[in-house]
Structures are given as structure tokens and as C-alpha cells.
Structure 1
């Protein structure tokens, strides 16, 4: 872009202070996601009697607005980031409550709500909003402000966690817990509390196994594939095997013809079959680059709010990617979670754009500026 360094406009200041490498990596991920959706979704669309490019067209239509939202949010200053997060958290919590009362039940869970003809998954939006609001509360108390920040952040965590488990959505609850724990730890959680929280987390995982039948089924199938239906995981592993190092070529894969979620939760398997192991490693490298570069920027900042909020957003982004890819590779029990910016899904795409937009805003260079 031909923007002079002495350009003092909003766009000029943004361009010379934003992390352009992270922005470029996110755009590359979104482009790869659209390409993979084009190749993976036609069989899924045909199975539901739709136009072969139904899902690809919807993803393409949503992609430009999502990137526009990402850039718009990244223009915000720290105060505006907090305001965006508070508003988004309030709206997301209200929608989470609404899903439990008027949301349709899909595969035994109520995670979606229809608004204006669009289906929205509120749990996708609550994660980045919670990360920023909790960071604000933790940093406020840690810096001596007369705010019971630890209590407020923990209360919000308990509220959102309860709403997610009532859907039920154990995977999103686990990601939310990781965000809260990481921020609380960095904010100065006493070592005794760390041990207690770790023990409670272990107890929670064991309890989830006995309380939620779908969790028990997935863990049992992971430990003993013969104990139940492991169709999607088996097909995904076959896809990686068929793809080899260089893949079978764009559009030449066959796993998408039999994978119900080949355009969404298992899109990484389609990438493995059609483009090979090297392409999959390149995707992993892009995710690693974004996370590691984000933490490298955070280490250069002395604002506690920025450190905690950026850490929460990076934990969400990295952990979600890790869960998706590890599930597809049968390294952990399966979990229906999208691969950020790659899997098909409007709610996921827009929520991640907001979250990464806030990350870019938080990690912008701010010479001589305080929150």
C-alpha cells in the first residue's frame, strides 16, 4: 500500500502500527479456507439437494464482510476494544440463554438460534468477548483499582460455563476454561489456587465423562474404536493415507463424497487427501506463526490488560485449531469444532474475525499512548 509514514489519517496510523505479517497470515488462512470449501463442499450440497456450490457461495459471500469486520475492529483503541467486548459479551450471553428456550435441538444439543433468517451460534461470539472482558477485570484489580475484578471475572466465567454445559457444549466449555485459567494464572493466581484449579479441572473432565453420554461415547470410541461408530475418523485417516506427501490433486479426493462434515469439522482431512502432507504442515505452520508472533508482540508490551487480553485471544485461536486438527488425526477424541478461518461456518468466521481484529488492535504499536 502506498501510504506515507507521515500520514496522520486513521488509515495511515493504522497501517504503520498494525502487525501486517499477522494480518497477511490471517488473509492467507481465509483464502485457503475458501479454496478448500470450494473443493470439499459440492458433495455435501448435493446430498441435501442444493446447488453444488451452495456452501462455497455462502462462504465467499461472508468472507469479504468478515475481513472488513476484522480490519474495522483492528482500528479500535484500547478503550474501544473494551467497549466492543462488553457489548458483544452481553449480547452473546443473552443469545445463549435464548438458545436454551427457543433454539432448535440438533443432534441432542441446542446451540443455534435463528435471527432474521440467519442461524447464529452464540458460543462462537462469547469466547473472544469473554477473553477481553475478563482480562479487563483481572488487570483492573491487579493494578489497584477499586474493582473486585477477580470476583467479577470468575463470576462471568461460571455463568458462561454453566450456559455452555446446559446446551451442552463441552468442547467450547473447555476452551473457555483454558482462557480463564491462563489469564488468572498470568494475573497472579496463588500457587495453591493453581493446584486447586488443576485438580478441579481434572475432576470436571471425569465428571463430564459420566454426566454427558456423547462425551462418554466419544472417549470410549477413541480408546476402543471397535466399541462404537468411528466412521468419520476412519475415513479421515484413510484420506491422509491416500494423500501421501503431495496429495492426489485439487478436486481429485474421494473422502469428501462420504464425509458428512468434510466441509466443516473434517476439512483438514480433505486438505490432506487432495494436497498432501506438505500442505497440511504448511497450514499448521501458519497457525503456529500467528500464535507465536502474537505472543512475541505481547512480550514487548508492558500494559497488563493488553497482555492478558491478547493471551486469552491467542489461547482461544490456537487451542481451537489444535483441537480440530488433533481430532481429525485421531490424536484426541472427536470434537465438533471448526478449524479457524478454514472450515465452513458463518458464525465461526465472523466471531473469529472480531476476535482477531481485537488481537490486532491490542498488539498495535502505541508509542506514548496509554489506555
Structure 2
């Protein structure tokens, strides 16, 4: 254990944030899984232990990924893109359908499933960071730089949006932020946004979940006219938040946990506010804001463009997802299936989030250890990145 602690590097504040989120996650999930345990006919403790195992496994993956030099992820990004696009296609056709959406692929022999969009987020962000950093000399060249970038963004966006619109929109927004940081021209960014808007319009009106998307938007825009069955989730989330008051009802004393669907996942922020009040909700928001602040510091100090873009993309993805989840809970957006990073109960989504944290820590580890930046090592890593 001492050896492991001695080998922990990177921004210590981010490690502290991960520990705090882990503790909040265990307390919140334990409060929210009563109904789920009843439906499954098992004890809440057994579900909690599985969740804790995922947290521990995630921290283990975070430790491993933070020990890997972040420049190795440049070469890995190409392989990830080659794997991700066929997996997204496979998921769209043969994936397990849950809540009318094909987002999951079963992992044979484990009883687990994972959302291919989680892998796609890592793949696209690392690929964009690699491409933008390598094409800086001819970044405005349409054939060599713009077409590969636009193709990657639009293809991944379309494949994810077919069954998971909220994740696709957030990933598209992160991609646009990376394009701006990567000095892509305003005209080219406008073309990418236009292409995304066309794809979005087509999927909303002609995609397999067009009815679901329209119903959610109409319920959000006109809640007074909405069907009570359609607004059930958002209504009870608002009741949970309103009944929390300033200091909340106390841990484990939520009443709306018995009514809210996915209280342990999509709507866990509403349960947190109900039990810990406005103070608890503000504290959680502050933790994510502080995470973004620490990540921005890493981005500004990163000596290489790839590291800066990589840390920026992953941190934007995590924080945008967090605030999107909380915005839905308080009624600032239509209902989505977006979990709260590192807090919501989830299997492989927790693991992929942990890897993202680990990669950010890998970038910060390089900043803290300037002795690593030697000519020989740069050449060695550069050779791998060209594989």
C-alpha cells in the first residue's frame, strides 16, 4: 500500500475530488436503491457492495491510466476510433434495447453491459486532440486537416444520436470547443455545426426514437399541457428538490426515492438535494466547479498541445455531463438518460469515467515532473504515437 501511495502522482486536488465524489456516491446510492432492491428481491446491501466494487475498480483503472505517459494515448486514439465506429454500428443494429433505446452491448459471460457511447467519448476526444495537435502547421488545409476532423465528429455524432441524443449533443459541443482551441477557422467550425444541425434535425424527425424526443421536448416546453405520465419523472424530481429545504431531510430519509424512476442514476441529484438540502446541492456543484478549475490550470500549464487539448476535452466532457444531469433534475432541461459522473450508480460508465480522470492526471503528472521531458524519451514516445 505504501508503495502505491508513493507512486501516486498528478494533481492532488483531483485525487481528493475523486475520493469526495466516491463517498457521496456510496451514501447517495445506498439511499436510492431501496425500490430497486425490492423489485429484484435482494438486499440493498448486496447492490451497494456491487457499486462499491465498481468504485474500487474504477479507482484502480484511474491509477493505472495515470501511470501511463499521456503521449501514449496519441497512438492509442487511432486504434480506439477503428474499434468505436463498428461497435456503434453494431449497437445500433444488434444492441440490447432498454427503455426503447439500443445503447448497450452485453459483455459475454459477465452479466454486464456497457454503453458504447462511453467508449466513443474517449475515442473521439483523444483522436481530436491528436489530430489537432499534429495538424497545426496546416490546420486550415481542407483536405489534410478539415475533412478528417469533420468526418470523425459527424460520423460519431450521428451514430450515437440515433439512440442517445443527449450524449451525442454534449459530445458534439465538446468537439466544437476543441476545434476552437485547435485554431480551426470560424468558417470551418460553422460548416461542422451546420452538418451537425442537419444530422440532428433528420434524427429528431425520422430517427427510431423520434416520438420520444418530441414528447420530451414538448413536456419541457409546455409542462402545463403535458400528459401526467410523460411528466411524472420531472414532476417528482421537482417535488424532491422543493421538499429538501435548506438543510434537507437527512441521510436515508427521502420519500421521493419510492416514486422517482432511476433515482439511483439519472435523478440522483434530486435525491441528494432532498436529503441534504440546498446546502448539499450547492456543495456538489462547487465540487464540480473546482474540478473544472483544477483541470483548466492543467490545460494552461501543459507544455504540449496534445496534452492541453486532451485534458481540456476530457474535463469539459465530465463537467458538461455533470451540469447537464443537475440541470435536468432542477427542471432546466428536458429529461435525458445522462448519469452524474462518478456518483450515479452504473457499471461500465463508472469505469470509463475513471479512465478519463486517470488520463487528466497523467497530463498533470507530466507537468509536475519536468525531468521527464528529455530528448530521448520524446523520440521514443513520438515513435509509438506514429504507429
Is the Cα–Cα contact under 8 Å of residues 166 and 336 in structure 2 kept in the other structure?
A: yes
Alignment partner, residue 292 of structure 1: 293
- Residue 241 of structure 1: aligned partner: 242
Counterparts of 1:202 and 1:91, CA distance in 2 = 26
- Contact 1:92–1:125 under 8 Å retained in 2: yes
Q: Number of paired residues?
A: 362
| Residues 1:197 and 1:86: Cα distance change in structure 2 (over 3 Å) | closer
Moved more, 30-39 or 321-330: 30-39
Q: Is the Cα–Cα contact under 8 Å of residues 139 and 149 in structure 1 kept in the other structure?
A: no
Q: Deviations over 1:78-112 (max 9, x none)?
A: 33222444444443333322223332222221111
> Residues of 2 paired with 1:32 and 1:88: CA distance?
32
Runs of 4+ in 1 over 6 A off after TM superposition: none
Structure 1 counterpart of 2:272: 271
Matches within 5 A, 1:51-90: 51-90=43-82
Query: 1:202 and 1:89 mapped to 2: Cα distance?
Result: 23
- Deviation digits for residues 345-367 of structure 1 (CA, Å, limit 9, x no counterpart): 11210010111111111222241
2:117 aligned counterpart, secondary structure: helix
CA distance in structure 2 between the aligned counterparts of 1:115 and 1:208, rounded to whole angstroms: 28
The residue aligned with 1:171 is 166
Deviates more, 1:304-313 or 1:47-56: 47-56
What RMSD over aligned residues (CA atoms) do the two structures have, in Å? 2.4
- Residue 384 of structure 2 corresponds to none
Point out where structure 2 has 5 or more consecutive residues left out of the alignment: 382-387
Q: Secondary structure at the match of 1:340?
A: coil
Which whole-Å CA distance do the structure 2 matches of 1:56 and 1:86 have between them? 37
SS of 2:266's equivalent in the other structure is coil
Aligned: 1:367 with 2:370: yes
1:106 counterpart = 2:102: no
Aligned residues of 2:59 and 2:354 also touching (Cα < 8 A): yes
Task: Indicate how the Cα distance of structure 1 residues 84 and 325 shifts in structure 2: closer, same or farther if over 3 A, else same.
Answer: same
Q: Distance in 2 between matches of 1:357 and 1:94?
A: 26
Q: Provide the TM-score with structure 1 as the length reference.
A: 0.90
Matching residue of 2:385: none
Instruction: Pick one of 3, 12, 15 that aligns with 1:20.
Output: 12
C-alpha displacement of 1:198: 4.3
Partners of 2:226 and 2:297 in 1: how far apart?
44
Residues 1:183 and 2:178 aligned together: yes
Give the conservation status (yes or no) of the 8 Å contact 2:17–2:287. yes
Partner Cα separation in structure 1 for residue 237 and residue 135 of structure 2: 47
CA shift for structure 1 position 274: 0.8
SS across alignment from 1:110: strand
Query: Aligned-pair distance for 1:149?
Result: 4.4
The superposition leaves residues 38-89 of structure 1 with CA deviations (integer Å, 9 ceiling, x where unpaired) of 1111222212333333432221111111101001100111332224444444
Aligned match for 1:154, one of 134, 150, 153: 150
Task: Label 1:11 to 1:53 Cα distance change in 2 as closer, same or farther (>3 A).
Answer: closer
2:29–2:345 Cα contact (<8 Å) kept: yes
Distance 1:123 1:202, change over 3 A: closer
**SS of equivalent residue, structure 2 residue 301:** coil
CA distance in 1, matches of 2:13, 2:330: 29
TM-score by structure 2 length? 0.86
Contact 2:105–2:113 under 8 Å retained in 1: yes
Query: How far apart are the structure 2 equivalents of 1:2 and 1:144?
Result: 48
Is the CA contact 1:178–1:315 (under 8 Å) kept in the aligned structure 2?
Answer: no
SS of structure 2 residue aligned to 1:339: coil
- Measure how far apart 1:2 and its partner are: 7.3
Cα deviation digits, residues 272-324 of structure 1 (max 9, x gap): 11111101111111111111110122112231111211111111101100110
1-structure distance, mates of 2:77, 2:351 = 14
SS of residue in 2 equivalent to 1:114: strand
